[in-house]
Amino acid sequence: MKVSFFATCLGDQFYADACADAVRLLRYAGVDVDVPQSQTCCGQPAYNTGRRLEAIRMAHQTLDTFDSADYVVLPSGSCAGMIRCFYPDLLDNELERAQVLADRTYELSHFLVEVLGIQDLGSGLKGKRIAYHHSCHALRELGIRNQPISLLKNCGAEVVTWEADEECCGFGGLFSAKLPEVSAAMADRKLDTLSAVDFVTSTDGGCLLQLSGRGNRRRLSVQFRHLASVLWEGVSL
Amino acid sequence: MTARSSILDRVRIALANREVVAHPGSFEGWRPFVHAGNPTEQFTEMFEAAGGEVVSFKTQGEASLWVRGFLADFNSLSVGELARGRLNEDAEPDEWIEEMDPSVVEAGVSLAFGAVAETGSLIMTPQDGRRAQLLPPVHVVFVDQAKIYETLSEGLLALKNELLPGDKEGGELPSAVGLHSGPSKSADIGQVLVKGVHGPGRVVTVIVESH
Amino acid sequence: MSFSGPKHYREESAKSLKDRPSVRTSVTSATDTFNANRSEAYSQINSDLWKDWARDVKSHALTNLDQYLEQAETQLLANGAKVHWAETAHDALGLLEEIVRDHEISTAVKAKSMLSEELGINEHLEHLGVHVRETDLGEYIIQLIGEPPSHIVGPAIHRSLEDCQRLFHEKFGTPLDDGPDALAATAREALREEFLAADLGISGGNFLVAETGTVALIENEGNIRLSTSLPRVHIALVGIEKIVPRLEDVSGFVQLTSRAATGQPIGNFFSLIQGPKRDGDIDGPEEVHVILVDNGRTRLLADDKAWEALRCVRCGACLNICPVYRQTGGHPYGWTYSGPIGAIIAPGMLGLEEAMPLPYTSTLCGACVDVCPVRIPIPELLVHWREKAVEEGLTSAIESAGIKAYTKAAERPGIFRAAGAVLQRMPLDAGGRALPILSGWVKERSAPESSAKSFMQQWKEGIE
């Protein structure tokens, strides 16, 4: 099986090691990975701020890049969601191609569980107390809820209950920079309801940047790690 | 051009190219579980869950006797005409009830048009007086078991179609109908539930099983 | 007590968070309760079927609105009610003034009505020398304080028990440690006199039934029943979008709205008002006036996407679940309607320029979609208004230029990577203060750290 990996603009720049771990995970799962070099950005920041024309251009770029892929896997619920849920509408003059791409696009943990049928990666997370943050796009656009959690648990982790686990972290792309005070208050809501854990993890780099950025500013000791890296740690070799 | 014609014109222009959506049909209150009991049991459960009280009697005579006993604890009463009729049925007429203004009494007594089981609501029409249904801190309401409707839709349909006492022609709603589903309550002060602001803080439903 | 306008959202929200942290606590706590109750209430029914049904009835009513408005008017007139039409707030206030003068009104009791807030009627009535008393307990509290409502259903949720204790102590001399029951008893006594003395009762309308000419009102306290039964004149202000075609439709809407708003199977008191008292009625108003209000609703109706927002039943569920709203309550939005619903109707009703930046006061998290009882596609409509804002040149020029440049680079992978490499070597904390987009970020958070080697770099070098 061959999978095309889309690192995402944010992943390439800020979560590069997690992206590398995602590749390792996919290979470990028995899949061939290629990385089309013309990939850049899925266009979500433009789409979300109402810049439809720019979003369409970036969607085209992405469509052309992954046109011949059997599967496209991303270390991001929001970018996968963008492609799956919004490309057909954005690229309505290339509806067929867009729909084909949308149907073949997956967030990493979703792909592992639903397409590859993997439940058990290893026991490398034994003894770890983890809080799982549900990224809004992964949860509500892609319906990803149990897959990451069951993978974590099957690696031996204790995934703690967290009152605010499904609440938005306040990133929202440019929202975080344009309405920083409210955005920080939303991050605080998440951070203040956390119990003592070894780290917090999520499918999405944007959420992790938001929470870790706020956590750091407040000098909190809680750590934040991308799900791809955490699951790779779960694979005890 | 009047405001009326201007508004209607603007509506028509706005809708000019809009696809019309069909009415989906009757509301059927779809629920995953059907209530196990009969309408009377369901009404009682709902009404009590909302903080109301429910008593039930086989005959009007028994009910009237109980209510008179209940009311004996209150110094001032306001009793609606239809409720008074029920209180006097199969019992000695009521010289003991001195009619007073509902704004100064301790308890009010009314006859309900009917009730709704699925929502635990009493259907109150204006004949017995709205003030008596709202101003006194305690409200006692007679309702016939036969007029406890299973669903709110049924209750509203019955209201629309039945002849009410005093109606010259049937099939018309009265000036105002109130559905009362328990004692008055509010959580506006620090999210804590308080009762009796501003309507009655205590409501007692008296079900008459056969009338 | 009027609203400051949406344009100050950022300042006002920042101020609220910094200077009045108790608002965030109170609002979070109140909405937690609302959410738990609503969730439980939805789980007791087939909520998907109810919401689909409600969406379709409302869409049907809205796409046939002119006919239903005419039918409602005919029925109300047959019921003996008087019907007036108001295109603007100004019209509505004029009609109110006429009725007040014709009937020599000097005191009025008001049931909670968001439309009446929108129109600013309290201020106008006071100008005319009419004493206006809010009778909903939450509205009463904020009237005494002198501030606008913070939430569609619970106007005073931003106020804690301590705030109320202090307020009542100031106004009535009650002990500072009076609990909720005692405070409520004080309010009941004070308002009782006002109910009995008032010449005029003013209400809104949750639904307007076209078939029977009925104004339907949901409440828990009984103040609406009292305000619409005791005074000799009743005025109902009803937005034209409140139309519901048939009486039996109301059975679905009252139950769904109650569950969505407070988690109750039905509001404690549900009034169905057809008109004034009839021969044979012991009490009731001598005159009932229904004022049908447009005030921007037809403008919203004309928008080919956002018209769906007119299905709103004002349950407040979207406010309760919105993680942005919950940080500050409604005041920073600067208008009667706040939270997600406020953000999508303001551009239609006030015009997009005046409504800015409300369509941007959201992360598009989608939590509201799950809870809306009439399935308004809120995030879609937010993006719709954002697209319009960009088209009309209402967004930051710097931001537009930045995104255009970014897009150009994204179409040229080589350039994109090179730009990324530059970013990698830039300490973002320092650069953050210079780059406008990043300055917002670093104000509240540590700047993100670029990975030592980008992924594409690592891939090129080979990943083991």
Q: How far apart are alpha carbons A134 and A144 in whole angstroms?
A: 8
Q: Please count the residues of chain A.
A: 237
- Residue-wise pLDDT for C194-233, tens only, equals 999 999 999 999 999 999 999 999 999 999 999 999 999 9
CA pair distance C154, A138, nearest whole angstrom: 32
Question: In chain C, which among 303-362 make CB contacts under 8 A with chain A?
Answer: 323-324, 326-328, 357, 359-362
Nearest CA to C31 among C309, C339, C373, C370? C339
Q: Cα separations (Å) of C7 from C13, C277, C318, C343?
A: 11, 46, 21, 12
Contact present, A231 and A25 (Cβ < 8 Å): yes
Q: Of B127-131, B168-172, C116-120, C442-446, which one has max mean pLDDT?
A: C116-120
Give residues 168 to 187 of A whose Cβ lies within 8 Å of C: 168, 170-187
State whether A8 and A110 are in the same domain: yes
Whether residues A99 and A161 share a domain: the answer is no
**Considering the domain boundaries, does residue A134 fall inside one?**
yes
Residue of chain B with shortest Cα separation from C248: B153
**Tens-place pLDDT, residues C69-117:** 999 999 999 999 999 999 999 999 999 999 999 999 999 999 999 999 9
Does A123 map to a domain? no
Nearest CA in chain C to A49: C386
pTM beyond 0.90: the answer is yes
Give the residue from A81, A115, A149 where a domain finishes. Answer: A115
Closest chain C residue to A11 measured between Cα atoms? C455
Mean pLDDT of chain A: 96
My answer on whether A170 and A229 are in the same domain is yes
Residues A106 and A26 in one domain: yes
Residue A23: inside a domain, yes or no?
yes
Name the phi and psi angles at A64, rounded to 5. Answer: -65, -40
- Shared domain for A153 and A100, answered yes or no, is no
pLDDT, tens digit, 9 for 90 and up, residues C147-189: 989 898 889 888 889 999 999 999 999 999 999 999 999 999 9
Which CA distances in Å does C379 have to A41, B36, C306, C363, C368?
A: 22, 41, 11, 9, 8
Overall size of chain B counted in residues:
211
Co-location of A59 and A147 in the same domain: no
Contacts of A177 in chain C (CB under 8 A): 437-441
The predicted pLDDT at position B99 comes to 79
pLDDT band for B166, please (50, 70, 90 cuts).
low
Instruction: Please report whether residue A121 resides in a domain.
Output: no
Dump the DSSP string for C150-173: SSSS-TTTTS-HHHHHHHHHHHH-
A102 and A166 part of one domain: no
C191, C133 Cβ separation under 8 angstroms: yes
Domain final residue pick, A115, A147, A178: A115
How does DSSP assign C137-155, residue by residue?
A: HHHHHHHHHT---SSSS-T
> pLDDT above 90 covers what percent of chain C?
88
The structural domains of chain B, ordered by start, are: 36-165+173-210 (3.40.50.10420)
Q: Is C340 helix (H, G, I), strand (E, B) or coil?
A: helix
Residue C55 vs residues B21, B121, C59, C374: alpha-carbon distances, Å: 10, 25, 6, 4
Separation CA A36–CA C461 (nearest Å):
15
Whether the CB of A85 is below 8 Å from some CB of chain C: the reply is no
Indicate whether B170 pLDDT > 60. Answer: no
Of A115, A141, A176, the position where a domain reaches its end is A115
Of A7, A48, A182, the CB nearest to C324: A182
Dist. CA A92–CA A180, nearest whole Å:
35
Give the DSSP letter string of C225-256.
HHHHHSSSEEEEEEEGGGEES-HHHHHHHHHH
What's the pLDDT tens digit per position in B118-135? Answer: 999 999 999 889 999 999
Residue C56 contacts residue B24 (beta carbons within 8 Å): yes
Quote the CA–CA distance of A217 and B136 in Å, as a whole number.
Answer: 59
Residue B93 is predicted with a pLDDT of 73
Helix (H, G, I), strand (E, B) or coil at A229: helix
At B161 the pLDDT is: 86
Q: Do chains A and B touch (3 or more CB pairs under 8 A)?
A: no
Nearest to A112 by CA among A167, A62, A75: A75
In a domain, A124, yes or no: no
Kindly identify which residue of chain A lies nearest to residue C433, measuring between CA atoms.
A177
* A111 and A154 fall within a common domain: no
Q: Is C265 on the interface with A (CB under 8 A)?
A: no
Q: Are A58 and A133 members of one domain? A: no
List the single best residue of B197, B202, B203 to mutate versus C (max C Cβ within 10 A): B197
B77-79, strands of its sheet edge to edge:
B53-59, B202-210, B138-144, B107-111, B77-79
Q: Are residues A145 and A185 in the same domain?
A: yes
Q: Report C:388-407 residues touching A (Cβ under 8 A).
A: 388-390, 395, 399-400, 403-404, 406-407
Task: Say yes or no to pLDDT of C378 above 80.
Answer: yes
A122 is a domain residue: no
What percent of chain B stands above pLDDT 90? 74
Q: C161: burial class by Cβ within 10 Å (0-12, 13-18, 19+)?
A: middle
Give the integer Cα–Cα distance in Å for C456 and C22: 47
Q: What is the pLDDT of residues A170-208, one digit of tens each?
A: 999 999 999 999 999 999 999 999 999 999 999 999 999
Tokens encoding A26: 């996919």
Measured CA to CA, the distance from residue C144 to residue C140 in angstroms comes to: 6
Q: Which of C363, C370, C406 to mutate to test the interface with A (most CBs of A within 10 A)?
A: C363
Question: Does some domain include residue A34?
Answer: yes
pLDDT at B168: 53
The residue in chain C having the minimum alpha-carbon distance to the alpha carbon of residue B21 is C60
Structure tokens at B162: 């039945």
CB atoms < 10 A from the CB of B155, how many? Answer: 26
Kindly list the residues from chain A whose CB atom is less than 8 angstroms away from the CB atom of residue C450: 13-14
Q: Cβ contacts (< 8 Å) between C328 and chain A: which residues?
A: 182, 185
Cβ atoms of residues A54 and A43 within 8 Å: yes
Cβ–Cβ below 8 Å for B197 and C272: no
For B199, the closest of C221, C249, C264 (CB atoms) is: C221
Distances (CA, A) of C205 to A10, B87, C463: 49, 36, 65
Report CB contact under 8 Å: C91, B3. yes
Q: Map tokens 């791809």 to a residue.
A: A228
| pLDDT confidence of residue C187 | 92
- Which residues in chain A touch residue C424, judged by CB atoms under 8 angstroms apart? 13
pLDDT at residue C425, rounded to an integer = 78
What confidence tens digit (pLDDT) does each residue in C222-267 have?
A: 999 999 999 999 999 999 999 999 999 999 999 999 999 999 999 9
- Of the residues C136, C223, C248, the best mutation for testing chain B's interface (the one with the most B CB atoms within 10 Å of its CB) is C248
CATH of the domain at A172: 3.40.50
Measured in angstroms, the CA of B163 and the nearest CA of chain C are apart by 14
Residue in chain C nearest A36 by alpha carbon: C456
Residue C434, pLDDT above cutoff 70:
no
Chains interfacing with C (3 or more CB pairs < 8 Å): A, B
Q: Is the pLDDT of residue C429 over 70?
A: no
Average pLDDT over residues A77-98: 96
CA distance B101 to chain C (A): 12
Q: Which domain holds residue A24?
A: 2-115
Cβ <8 Å between A175 and C362: yes
User: pLDDT band at B171, cuts 50/70/90?
Assistant: low
φ and ψ at A98, to 5 degrees? -65, -40
Whether A64 contacts chain C with CB within 8 A: no
Residue of C nearest to B172 (CA): C212
What confidence tens digit (pLDDT) does each residue in C303-361 have?
A: 999 999 999 999 999 999 999 999 999 999 999 999 999 999 999 999 999 999 999 99
C334–chain A nearest CA distance, Å: 15
- How far is Cα C72 from Cα C244, in angstroms, rounded to an integer? 9
Determine the distance in angstroms separating the CA of B210 from the nearest CA of chain C, rounded to an integer. Answer: 27
Q: Give the best residue of C69, C109, C283 to mutate against chain B (max B CB count within 10 A).
A: C283
Residues of B in contact with C168 (CB under 8 A): none
From chain B, pick out residues whose CB is under 8 angstroms from the CB of C188. Answer: 196-198
- On the question of pLDDT at C461 being above 60, the answer is yes
CB contact under 8 A, B196 and C184: yes
Q: Check whether B149 has a pLDDT greater than 80.
A: yes
B52 → chain C, closest CA residue: C268
What is the interface size between B and C, counted as CB pairs within 8 Å?
263
Contact C180, B192 (CB under 8 A): yes
The H or E element that residue A225 is part of is: strand A224-226
Rounded to a whole number of angstroms, the distance from the CA of B1 to the nearest CA of chain C is 11
User: What is the overall mean pLDDT for chain B?
Assistant: 92
CB contact under 8 A, C222 and B103: no
Subunits adjacent to chain A (3 or more Cβ pairs under 8 Å)? C
Closest-approach residue (CA) in chain C for B103: C196
Are A152 and A229 within 8 A, CB to CB?
no
What's the pLDDT score for residue C428? 66
- Do at least 3 CB pairs under 8 Å connect C with A? yes
Give the whole-angstrom CA distance, residue A20 versus residue A31: 14
Please report the pLDDT score of residue C6 as a whole number.
97
Q: Chain B: nearest CA to C31, how far in angstroms?
A: 10
CB contact under 8 Å between B4 and C64, yes or no, is no
| Contact between residue C257 and residue C218 where contact means Cβ atoms under 8 Å apart | yes
- Counted domains in chain A: 2
Residues A100 and A183 grouped into a single domain: no
Distance CA(B79)–CA(C209), nearest Å, equals 32
Contacts of C250 in chain B (CB under 8 A): 156
Q: How confident is the model at residue A56 (pLDDT cuts 50, 70, 90)?
A: very high
The pairs formed by A56-59 with CB atoms below 8 angstroms and a separation of 24 or more are: A56/A90, A56/A91, A57/C407, A57/C410, A57/C411, A58/C407, A58/C410, A58/C411, A59/A87, A59/A90, A59/A91, A59/A98
Residue A120 domain-assigned (yes or no): no
Pick the residue from chain C with its C-alpha nearest to B16: C302
Between positions 104 and 133 of A, the ones with CB within 8 A of C are none
| Chain B contact set for C164 (CB, 8 A) | 189-190
- In which band, very low, low, confident or very high, does the pLDDT at C436 lie, cut at 50, 70 and 90? low
Q: What is the pLDDT of residue C382?
A: 98
Least Cα separation, residue A17 to chain C (angstroms): 7
pLDDT at position C152 is: 87
Tell me, what's the pLDDT at C4?
79
Q: Does A206 touch chain C (CB under 8 A)?
A: no
User: Does the structure show a pLDDT above 60 at B14?
Assistant: yes
Instruction: Point out the least confidently predicted range of A101-115, B77-91, C365-379.
Output: B77-91
Domain match, A62 and A151 both: no
